[in-house]
Amino acid sequence: GDSVTQMEGPVTLSEEAFLTINCTYTATGYPSLFWYVQYPGEGLQLLLKATKADDKGSNKGFEATYRKETTSFHLEKGSVQVSDSAVYFCALSGGAQKLVFGQGTRLTINP
C-alpha cells in the first residue's frame, strides 16, 4: 500500500539556519503530496502542496518540489525562525482521496 517515510527527528537548529526535512513516498499512480504543520496542542495546518511531478509548492518561505524520479518531496526553508518550531508531517493523497502520513519530524529552533 501507499506509504510515506520522513527524516527522523528531532531536528534542532539555530535561528536563520537552512532547513531540510526529507520525505520519500511509495504509491501507485500519481499522488498529490502535502506538508502539514502541527503546533503544540493544535490540529494540523496545511503548509503547502503539489499535485503533479515537478510542481513546487511554497508558503511562508517553505518550499518543496515533487520529484517523481526520486519519489521525494523534501521540505526546505532558507532561514528558519523560532516561530517555525513545530512538528512537520509529509503526506500523500492517492486515488482514494484519503491522506497517508509520515511519522512526523519535530523541529526546534533556538534563538
Site residues (vs another protein, CB under 8 A): 4, 32, 36, 42-46, 49, 51, 89, 91, 93, 96-104
**Which of residues 96 and 111 has its CB atom nearest to another protein in the complex?**
96
Element containing residue 67 per DSSP (H, E)? none
* Closest approach of another protein to the CB of residue 9, in Å: 10
Check if the beta carbon of residue 23 is closer than 8 Å to that of residue 75. Answer: yes
* Closest approach of another protein to the CB of residue 103, in Å: 5
Check if the beta carbon of residue 9 is closer than 8 Å to that of residue 104. Answer: yes
Check if the beta carbon of residue 80 is closer than 8 Å to that of residue 73. Answer: no
**Which of residues 64 and 100 has its CB atom nearest to another protein in the complex?**
100
* Closest approach of another protein to the CB of residue 24, in Å: 14
**Which of residues 28 and 97 has its CB atom nearest to another protein in the complex?**
97
Closest CA to 12 of 62, 82, 104, 72: 82
* Closest approach of another protein to the CB of residue 89, in Å: 5
CA-to-CA distance for 4 and 103, rounded, in angstroms? Answer: 8
